[in-house]
Amino acid sequence: MGLLSANNPGFYVAQAAGFMLLGPFLALGLYDLSYRRAQGEPTRFVQSAVALLRNPVNLTLYALFLGTLMLLWLSMSSVVMRLFFGDLPVAEQTYMGFVNLLLATKIGWLFTLAFLSVGLMFAVVSFVTGVATVPMLLERKVSLVTALNTSIRAILANWKVMVWWAATIAVIIGLGIDV
């Protein structure tokens, strides 16, 4: 079983974390329903399912950006795993065996710290670019660059509130993880 195998518990954790990086785009339908409701328009599932059609080029580019971010994260997480565990049979561990390795050994704690630190960098990029990008691309015919710049400016102008919002999201996601 290889390091990048879906059966490798470390890679499984990296995949699960990676899908969270796609959150800003995956919420597209919910943003659309919210926008329609605020405009007094009827809200239907079919409309939210085809929300991409409201600004297809720029929303697709943003989805590709987040997808690339996820692939970079998966690459970096495997580098971190290789640095800490080298040729150890981590991929042969069960999920609980992997958790035990992380919690019961010094190298496991150091790996966890490095893994979370690298993951935090990717999460910050996803969060900072995602705060206003998808809603803005849905509501206005603007470019992806304009929406990304607006999102970054919103974070910088309201950084204290945004730090709390990011922490809230992280806690909610953390509570939802089944160990």
- Taking the C-alpha atoms of residue 52 and residue 29, their distance in angstroms, rounded to an integer, is 8
pLDDT band at 6 (very low <50, low <70, confident <90, very high): low
* Residue 122 domain-assigned (yes or no): yes
Whether pLDDT at 2 is above 60 = no
Which two tokens mark 136?
A: 């803005």
* Residue 45 domain-assigned (yes or no): no
User: What is the DSSP-derived secondary structure letter of residue 93?
Assistant: S
Residue 16's pLDDT is 85
Question: 97-105 — which CB contacts under 8 Å span 24+ positions?
Answer: 97/9, 98/9, 98/10, 98/13, 99/9, 99/179
- Encode pLDDT of 119-175 as tens digits: 999 999 999 999 999 999 999 999 999 999 999 999 999 999 999 999 999 899 888
Residues belonging to the chain: 179
Residue 126's pLDDT is 96
Residue 178's pLDDT is 66
- Give the ranges where the chain is alpha helix by DSSP (H): 9-21, 23-26, 28-38, 45-49, 56-85, 95-104, 106-130, 133-139, 144-157, 159-176
* Residue 134 domain-assigned (yes or no): yes
- Taking the C-alpha atoms of residue 102 and residue 179, their distance in angstroms, rounded to an integer, is 13
- Encode pLDDT of 71-106 as tens digits: 999 999 989 988 988 766 665 677 788 888 888 989
Task: Show the domain range for 150.
Answer: 9-24+52-176
* Residue 31 domain-assigned (yes or no): no
Q: Tokens 């518990």, residue? A: 9
Whether pLDDT at 1 is above 50 = no
- Taking the C-alpha atoms of residue 144 and residue 134, their distance in angstroms, rounded to an integer, is 9
- Taking the C-alpha atoms of residue 65 and residue 70, their distance in angstroms, rounded to an integer, is 9
- Cβ contacts of residue 47 below 8 Å, gap of 6+? 32, 33, 36
Q: Kindly report the pTM of this predicted structure.
A: 0.86
* Residue 36 domain-assigned (yes or no): no
Split into its structural domains, the chain has a count of 1
* Residue 13 domain-assigned (yes or no): yes
* Residue 41 domain-assigned (yes or no): no
